[in-house]
């Protein structure tokens, strides 16, 4: 198999609707916003090449609400290339897109149909929000409108109990905030939704990894199919060097845990939630002496740096906090690999770390919390065309 040479880090962005591949210091420099609308529309798929397993390639997809179109666009480009990476890691909504990709589904068609069902007014945010409220009973993730009154009453009861039992430390202003329920959404997926995902992720020769996080125990659960266990050399159970990570097989229950959003609320004292909250892009499990992988495509649902104007509103502030938190965990993952690259050839013993390159494709436009409510065709379009270029190096 032929592989194009790649530097340690590359970044695939764009300039005026044309893909720009940055390397060296440019790949680590400040990211500039792009005009995603400048890309031409994605054409319908033609003849797809016969699938070819790429033993030196891996893909790491990060998920984030309405930014999941970014990963979906890349996966469609990857599907049309015919290339199958040796391993795929994914978080949050990208788990569903990876399952569809493994099924051989046309991701563009799947994305467009999902858009038509959940946001028929395109990018018109207010119209789509009203539609989601009016069609709540037919949505797979619906607003918690009917549950809202009882959730408020439950929180009022909790506030009253604090006022009665600890009047000296009671704050009316604090409790006014505490009355607002944590739950704002309700999952309403069909009964076979999670088992279908698990079956797709387990029934492949490609190593698949995703994660979840138990915030009460402070433990990250990393779920793998059989191929991933072999490719990483991991064994089920708590990591011998990292006691906060527990490796487990993939099944319907673990798929449900990995797709559980904060906004679904919490009724139990112990809860496992979407792993993107703790590690949005899973990289460190990929390099191993048990595989040949020397390049990883990192498809990130956040820009490298803040692309909006000054964060003046609470929505802007929440958006900035989310981006900083997601980027911090990614940098830690990426720099661990770069550290091992620098140590390669300098360690004692015959076994040395393999040099691994990172091909980065971050989101390239400003998106706020309000934008997370809906997907964007422009983001899909941008990710597709950049993905076509990136796939050449896998």
* Cβ atoms of residues 217 and 273 within 8 Å: no
Mean of all residue pLDDT scores within the chain:
93
Instruction: Please determine, for residue 264, whether its predicted confidence score (pLDDT) is greater than 90.
Output: yes
DSSP state of 187: E
Contact call for residues 260 and 273 (beta carbons, < 8 A): yes
Contact at 8 Å (CB) between 216 and 271? yes
Question: Is the four-CA dihedral 31, 373, 209, 321 of positive or negative sign?
Answer: positive
Look at residue 265 and tell me if it is in a domain: no
Say which residue the tokens 């099924």 belong to. 103
pLDDT score of 31 more than 80: yes
Range of the domain at 57: 9-30+46-135+206-214+223-230+274-319+328-391
Q: Read off the pLDDT band of 71 (50, 70, 90).
A: very high
Q: What totals of helices (H) and strands (E) does the chain contain, helices first? A: 11, 13
Please name every residue paired with 247 in a beta bridge, in sequence order, or none if there are none. 222, 237
**Owner of token pair 């916003």:** 33
Q: Which residues, in sequence order, are bridge partners of residue 270? A: none
Q: Determine contact, residues 97/264, Cβ cutoff 8 Å.
A: no
Q: Is residue 197 part of a domain?
A: no
Taking the C-alpha atoms of residue 369 and residue 46, their distance in angstroms, rounded to an integer, is 36
- Region 311-325: what's the mean pLDDT? 92
Domain contains 290? yes
% the chain with pLDDT above 90: 76
Gap between the Cα atoms of 320 and 317, Å rounded: 5
CB 347 within 8 A of CB 47: no
- The predicted structure's pLDDT at residue 269: 62
Residue 374 lies in a domain: yes
Least confident of 173-177, 267-271, 355-359: 267-271
Predicted TM-score (pTM) of this structure: 0.95
- The two structure tokens encoding residue 43: 């054409």
Kindly tell me if the per-residue pLDDT of 133 is higher than 70. Answer: yes
What is the rounded CA–CA span in Å between residue 259 and residue 255? 6
- Which pLDDT band, with edges at 50, 70 and 90, does 120 fall under? confident
Give the residue among 255, 202, 200 at the shortest CA–CA distance from 226: 202
Most distant CA pair in the chain: distance in Å? 72
The number of residues making up the chain comes to: 394
Residue 84 confidence (pLDDT) above 90: yes
User: Which tokens in the block code for residue 358?
Assistant: 């990172």
Q: How many Å apart are CA 31 and CA 38, to the nearest integer?
A: 17
Contact at 8 Å (CB) between 372 and 62?
no
Residue 180 lies in a domain: no
φ, ψ dihedrals at 19, nearest 5°: -70, 135
Cβ neighbours of residue 277 closer than 8 Å, sequence gap 6 or more: 213, 262
**Average pLDDT over every residue of 163-191:** 92
Inform me whether the pLDDT recorded for 53 exceeds 80. yes
Residue 291 confidence (pLDDT):
97
| Model pLDDT, residue 270 | 61
Residue ranges in 35-190 assigned as alpha helix (H): 69-81, 94-102, 107-118, 125-134, 148-165, 172-178
Phi, psi of 339 (to 5 degrees): -65, -45
The total domain count for the chain is 1
Cβ(92)–Cβ(275) below 8 Å: yes
Let me know if residue 161 belongs to a domain: no
Count of Cβ atoms closer than 10 Å to residue 211 Cβ: 28
18 vs 90, more confident: 90
First to last CA, the chain: 11
Q: Taking 90 as the threshold, does the pLDDT of residue 126 lie above it?
A: no
Mean pLDDT of 126-143: 83
Q: Which residues make Cβ contacts (< 8 Å) with residue 51, sequence separation at least 6?
A: 82, 83, 84
3-class DSSP state of 131: helix
């Amino acid at each position: 198999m032929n592989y194009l040479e790649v530097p340690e880090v590359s970044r695939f962005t764009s300039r005026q609707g044309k893909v720009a591949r940055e390397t060296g210091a440019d790949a680590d420099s400040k990211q500039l916003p792009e005009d995603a609308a400048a890309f031409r529309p994605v054409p319908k798929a033609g003849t797809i090449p016969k699938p070819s397993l790429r033993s030196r390639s891996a893909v790491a997809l990060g998920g984030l609400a309405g930014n999941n179109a970014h990963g979906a666009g890349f996966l469609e480009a990857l599907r049309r290339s015919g290339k199958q990476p040796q391993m795929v890691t994914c978080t949050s909504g990208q788990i569903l897109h990876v399952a569809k990709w493994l099924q051989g589904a046309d991701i563009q068609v799947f994305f467009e149909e999902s858009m038509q069902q959940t946001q028929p007014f395109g990018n018109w945010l207010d119209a789509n929000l009203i539609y989601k409220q009016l069609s709540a009973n037919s949505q797979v993730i619906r607003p918690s409108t009917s549950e809202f009154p009882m959730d408020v009453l439950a929180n009022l009861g909790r506030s009253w109990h604090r006022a009665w039992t600890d009047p000296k430390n009671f704050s009316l202003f604090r409790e006014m905030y505490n009355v607002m329920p944590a739950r704002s959404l309700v999952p309403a997926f069909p009964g076979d939704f999670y088992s279908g995902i698990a079956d797709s992720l387990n029934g492949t020769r490609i190593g698949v990894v995703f994660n979840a996080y138990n915030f009460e125990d402070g433990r990250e659960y990393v779920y793998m199919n059989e191929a991933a266990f072999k490719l990483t050399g991991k064994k089920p159970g708590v990591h011998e060097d990292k006691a906060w990570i527990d490796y487990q097989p993939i099944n319907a229950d673990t798929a449900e845990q990995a797709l559980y959003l904060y906004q679904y609320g919490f009724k139990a004292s112990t809860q496992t939630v979407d792993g993107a909250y703790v590690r949005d892009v899973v990289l460190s499990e990929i390099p191993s002496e048990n595989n040949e992988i020397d390049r990883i495509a990192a498809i990130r649902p956040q820009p490298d740096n803040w692309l909006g104007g000054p964060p003046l509103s609470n929505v802007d502030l929440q958006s900035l906090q989310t981006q900083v938190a997601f980027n911090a965990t990614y940098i830690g993952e990426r720099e661990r690999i770069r550290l091992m690259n620098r140590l390669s050839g300098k360690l004692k013993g015959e076994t040395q770390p393999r040099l691994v390159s990172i091909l980065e494709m971050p989101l390239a436009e400003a998106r706020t919390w309000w934008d997370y409510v809906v997907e964007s065709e422009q983001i899909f379009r941008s990710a597709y065309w950049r993905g076509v270029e990136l796939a050449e190096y896998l």
